[in-house]
């Protein structure tokens, strides 16, 4: 998956981009970790159960230049993409994903794109 200016998840009606005022410290304050090549990455579980090791994760990666990003929902090992919005059984994961994305918008990391 390549870095893009605007991203959306399959089945979601929302499109996001990086906030124009986002800074490196803002990303760190919101749980992003810097990778070896300078990108910032955040991985969060979408399953509320601590005991469930096979849950779904959301992975958000911001490019080192702070202009592009990529977002995906994957299995716990990160090998397969999961469509959270396509299945009724994923209601809890969808709710948790919406909460994470809304929190990042409120904290100035992401901005919602109106189409």
pLDDT digits (tens, 9 = 90+) for 86-102: 878 888 889 999 999 99
Average pLDDT over residues 37-63: 84
Q: Token digits for 79?
A: 């090998």
Report pLDDT for 53. Answer: 60
pLDDT of 112 above 70: yes
DSSP code string of 7-68 = E--TT-S-EEEE-TT--HHHHHHTT-EE-TTS-EEEEEE----SS-TT--EEEEEE-TTSS-
Looking at every residue in the chain, the average pLDDT score rounds to 89
pTM: 0.90
Q: Cα–Cα distance between 48 and 68 in angstroms, integer?
A: 29
Q: Which residues have C-beta within 8 Å of that of residue 9, sequence separation ≥ 6?
A: 71, 72, 73, 84, 85, 97
Percent of the chain scoring above 70 in pLDDT: 92
């Amino acid at each position: 998956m390549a870095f893009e200016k605007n991203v959306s998840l399959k089945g979601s009606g929302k499109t996001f981009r990086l906030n124009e005022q986002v800074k490196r410290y803002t990303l760190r304050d919101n749980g992003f970790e810097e990778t070896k090549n300078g990108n910032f990455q955040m991985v969060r579980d979408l399953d509320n159960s601590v005991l469930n090791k096979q849950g779904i994760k959301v992975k958000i990666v911001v490019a080192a230049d702070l202009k592009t990003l990529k977002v995906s929902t994957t299995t716990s090992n990160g090998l397969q993409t999961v469509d959270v919005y396509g299945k009724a059984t994923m209601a809890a994961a969808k709710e948790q994903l919406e909460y994470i994305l809304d929190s990042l918008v409120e904290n100035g990391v992401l901005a919602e794109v109106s189409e």
